[in-house]
A and B are shown apart, each in its own frame.
Chain A
Amino acid sequence: MRVIYIIWLRQIKRFIRSYSRMVASLAQPLLFLIALGYGFGSIYEQAGQGSYIQFLAPGIIAMTVIFTATFNGASLVFDKQFGFIKETLVAPVSRVSIMLGRALGGATVACFQGIVVFFLAMLFGFMPVDWSIAPLAIVFIFLLALLYSSLGTLIGTFLKDMEGFQLIVNFLIMPSFFLSSAMFSVKNFPPAIEWVARINPLTYGIDGMRGAFSTVVEFSYVFDILYLVAFVVILTFLGAWFFRKMQV
């Protein structure tokens, strides 16, 4: 526990000290809220689909969370480049706790960012339907953050520099974002794509979050949580295994 805690704490301290990074990472969701919220919103509403911002906001929160979390996880690459990774790797500590500490640290930061975007979205008219179940959204925000932060860390164990990270964003995170229910309803996809979206864990994170905000859930809260937790567990053990194999 103490090892997980100190590795987590280091990530938090680094985050608090570099608030420019936080401001930068809020620019994109803000842009999405303005452009999509006003741009698509009017079309969506003219078509009689109700309020688009109500549908969009959870997607934008998820977007912020998964991008921040993946990046925080993959920032392991910087530790490799600046040598700090050696300090952790020569220490007599289990590789699972290194993996968990890093993943939790990245997840906490991403979770915080997600909540900030939630309040930003409220400025654009977003409003949870029932405040008594809205806090449930935090569970899904956190699980998504942990999942993508674990994924990022895992990827970070075998990346050599941040250039490789761009590749991961383009071929893994972007598809994961667009081929989910973040921006559109899964039902509107052709069957093959719908199938991809149904495997995609982001779909379940968003389903649960959207449910908590709108009280309408497509699958079920329990299934959404189990699906995400299963992914997190698999990624954690896979990540620990990669840490064990890591040579610097």
Chain B
Amino acid sequence: MTNAIEIKNLTKKFKKFTAVDDISFNVKKGEIFAFLGPNGAGKTTTIKMITTLLKKSSGEILVNDKNPEKFKDEVRKSFGVVFQDTTLDIELTAYENMYFHAVLYNIPKKQRKEKIEKLLEFVELLDRRKDYVKKFSGGMKRRLEIARGMLHVPEILFLDEPTLGLDPQTRNKIWEFVKNLKEKNNVTVFLTSHYLEEAEAVADHVAIIDHGKIIFNGTPDEVKEKTQTDTLENAFLELTGKSIRDESSNTAHETMKKIINK
């Protein structure tokens, strides 16, 4: 078994709109896999299908050789996920958010405190552990989510836009962390990002998705070679064009707008 994730002919239709259109790819165990594409290309929809949050329309998904629809809990145990929009409870403290996760993932009671504090220290939030998350900045929330996603030591970690909207220091810190995960813990990392130079620096493998279809699948060097470009960013523009896309997914921004308009 060398593949952590196998996707075959995966399709997701929302009524008439096809968000993910017959895509196939494999993610090898222990690699950093960058899933890139413009806004609304189908990245988040794909992650949601793999992580059991969304039902596929057709095709096949295997996570560690298991079908997530049949072996829900086994598959759920094997991955951690950091979504693009925050999934923290802002009325709880940082420590409480971590503790909630530790209980859900059945981390033995004696280990909880130590593990939580170790991870909080790593993301430099240990001294803020008793603060409510609503007082946190965007970067702090993101770091906390990554720490939480790692708490149960998953085999696969999904990171949907982990560095979106963060300052260079935090971004740097997060990528260091991601590389470390792979090297020290042999965690498979599945990430999406808009920062292509960053993705280029960490990724072993790149798949580019646009309009729900995979238009490139290979190493960062291969994509540059194919498009005769010098950076991943230029290769990306070469492949997906330069027109601006509208995001169709439900972003945090839209959610906030809905709440404010009420």
Which of A's residues lie within 8 Å of B, judged by CB?
2-3, 5-6, 10, 13-14, 17-18, 81-94, 161-163, 247-248
Contact = CB atoms under 8 A, between A and B. Distances in A.
Contacts of B48: 248
B103 A2 contact: yes
Contacts of B262: 161-163
Interface of B: 48, 51-55, 72-74, 76-77, 79, 81, 83, 85-92, 96, 99-101, 103-106, 148, 252, 255, 258-259, 262
Contacts of A247: 53-55
Contact of B74 (A18, A92, A248): A92
B52 A87 contact: no
B253 to A, nearest CB: 12
Contacts of A89: 52-53
A18 B91 CA distance: 9
B76 A91 contact: yes
A161 B258 contact: yes
A90 B52 contact: yes
Nearest to B49: A247
Contact of A17 (B51, B91, B103, B259): B91
Contact of A86 (B79, B87, B100): B87
Nearest to B252: A83
25 contacts: A2-B106, A3-B104, A13-B96, A14-B91, A14-B92, A81-B258, A83-B252, A87-B87, A87-B88, A87-B100, A88-B104, A89-B53, A90-B52, A90-B76, A91-B101, A91-B105, A92-B105, A92-B106, A93-B73, A93-B104, A161-B262, A163-B262, A248-B48, A248-B53, A248-B54
- Most chain B CB within a 10 A radius of its CB, from A3, A87, A161, A247: A87
Nearest to B148: A87
Contacts of B52: 89-90
B83 A83 contact: yes
A173 to B, nearest CB: 20
B53 A86 contact: yes
B76 A84 contact: no
A5 to B, nearest CB: 8
A219 to B, nearest CB: 41
Given A81-B258, A89-B53, A92-B73, A6 B104 contact: yes
Given A87-B101, A92-B74, A82 B90 contact: yes
Nearest to B96: A13
A75 to B, nearest CB: 11
A86 B158 CA distance: 13
A6 B53 contact: no
Contacts of B259: 81
The list of the 6 closest CB pairs from A to B, nearest first, reads: A92-B76, A92-B73, A91-B104, A6-B103, A83-B87, A92-B77
Nearest to A6: B103
Given A81-B258, A92-B76, A3 B103 contact: yes
Nearest to B83: A86
Contacts of B53: 86, 89-90, 247-248
B92 A10 contact: yes
B57 to A, nearest CB: 12
- Most chain B CB within a 10 A radius of its CB, from A3, A13, A83, A93: A83
A94 B106 CA distance: 13
A90 B81 contact: yes
Nearest to A245: B55
Nearest to B91: A14
B54 to A, nearest CB: 5
A81 B250 CA distance: 10
B255 A13 contact: no
Given A86-B83, A87-B88, 8 more contacts: A82-B86, A83-B86, A84-B88, A90-B53, A92-B73, A93-B73, A93-B104, A247-B53
Contacts of B258: 81, 161
A93 B85 CA distance: 22
Nearest to B51: A90
Nearest to A14: B91
B39 to A, nearest CB: 18
